[in-house]
């Protein structure tokens, strides 16, 4: 038997028992894929991350991310939380780490900046989404409403139809008509399976990110991913980044736009995700995701 050290953090919050919990295995060397998957299922969080030595010594670490049922190429809250853990450790695989990190992931390289408080503790981390924006097929209001237990007229289509989009991990972006519709929504598996079957070319588990505007630069959101065994996620940085990038396609983008995503309210785990959306010469260039994290547990598990 082998003991593995782990740290759990609540991400996109500075308050314990809010935000999105994440388990971080700080040294995943020697673990087989099946063991990583089993550990992620045992924690039962929306994601668990595993830190490995980098393949390229110029980078900080290789990071692998697992939901309870599958590995994913990129996700926002595991990167924000894992960066918090790494920066707090200060040393990784015998090397000092600073305030600029780079993780090797299946979606590509993820660049991270660490912000510290006056006492030297980690106050927040900012990650850059690893891939350009890709936009897929649209879905009818009737089809997506059925997956959410809503009426078709509660799907807001004045700005855009429900659509697949990604900057590293793919989601269905759905605007709803207001907070009341957002609060009533609940994922319906059979209609969602029909949507997935109708859009096999998207190669997507049909994780659905629904949102409504509560201010000029402030969105309330929820995310359902039942095919990943995530009934609801309290904070989804990768989906937030996809939304921020996608919104630049709906009007002439500013060179720099900030957007706050508030998520997890309906779950009692309020999260705050801050986006900086950068355009160059009127075209989307990249998006960064910023959030705080707070440590909750440290321990060992046996494999």
Buried b (16+ CB within 10 A) or exposed e, 26-64: bebeebeeeebbebbeebebbbbbbbbbbeeeebbbbbb
Indicate the pairing of strand 218-225 with strand 256-263: parallel
| Inter-CA distances, 121 with 5, 87, 90, 188, 290, Å | 21, 9, 10, 42, 16
State how far the Cα of 268 lies from the Cα of 256, in Å rounded to an integer.
32
Q: Tell me the H-state helices in the chain.
A: 33-43, 76-89, 141-148, 179-184, 189-198, 237-247
Q: Enter the tokens of residue 66.
A: 């697992």
| Inter-CA distances, 115 with 42, 53, 63, 181, 229, Å | 32, 23, 20, 36, 33
**How many other β-carbons are positioned within 10 Å of the β-carbon of residue 89?**
13
For the question of residue 232 being annotated catalytic, the response is: no
State how far the Cα of 282 lies from the Cα of 272, in Å rounded to an integer.
27
CB 166, CB 131: distance < 8 Å: yes
Single out the catalytic residue among 32, 42, 47, 142: 47
DSSP label of 254: P
Interhelix angle 237-247/76-89, rounded to 10 degrees, is 120
State how far the Cα of 263 lies from the Cα of 77, in Å rounded to an integer.
12
State how far the Cα of 218 lies from the Cα of 240, in Å rounded to an integer.
12
Catalytic site positions: 47
């Amino acid at each position: 038997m082998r003991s593995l050290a782990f740290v759990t953090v609540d991400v996109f919050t500075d308050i314990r028992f809010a935000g999105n919990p994440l388990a971080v295995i700080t040294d995943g060397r020697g673990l087989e894929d099946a063991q990583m998957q089993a550990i992620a299922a045992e924690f039962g969080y929306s994601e668990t991350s595993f830190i490995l030595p980098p393949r390229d010594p110029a980078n900080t670490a290789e990071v692998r991310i697992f939901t309870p049922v599958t590995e994913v190429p990129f996700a926002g809250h595991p990167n924000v939380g894992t960066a918090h853990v790494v920066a707090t450790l200060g040393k990784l695989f015998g090397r000092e780490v600073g305030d600029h990190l780079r993780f090797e992931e299946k979606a590509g390289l993820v660049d991270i900046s660490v912000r510290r408080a006056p006492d030297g503790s980690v106050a927040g981390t900012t990650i850059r989404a690893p891939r350009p924006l890709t936009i897929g097929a649209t879905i009818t209001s009737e089809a997506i409403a059925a997956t959410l237990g809503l009426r078709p007229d509660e799907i807001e289509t004045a700005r855009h139809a429900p659509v697949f989009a990604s900057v590293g991990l793919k989601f269905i972006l759905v605007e709803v008509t207001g907070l009341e519709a957002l609060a009533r929504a609940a994922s319906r598996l059979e209609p969602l399976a029909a949507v997935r079957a109708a859009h096999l070319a998207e190669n997507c588990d049909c994780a659905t990110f629904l949102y409504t505007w509560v201010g000029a630069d402030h969105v309330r959101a929820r995310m359902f991913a039942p095919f990943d065994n995530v009934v609801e996620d309290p904070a989804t940085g990768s989906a937030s980044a996809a939304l921020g990038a996608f919104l630049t396609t709906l009007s002439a983008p500013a060179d720099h736009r900030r957007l706050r995503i508030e998520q997890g309210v309906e779950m009692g785990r309020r999260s705050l995700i801050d986006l900086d959306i950068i355009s160059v010469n009127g075209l989307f260039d990249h998006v960064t995701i910023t959030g705080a994290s707070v440590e909750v547990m440290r321990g060992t598990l046996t494999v």
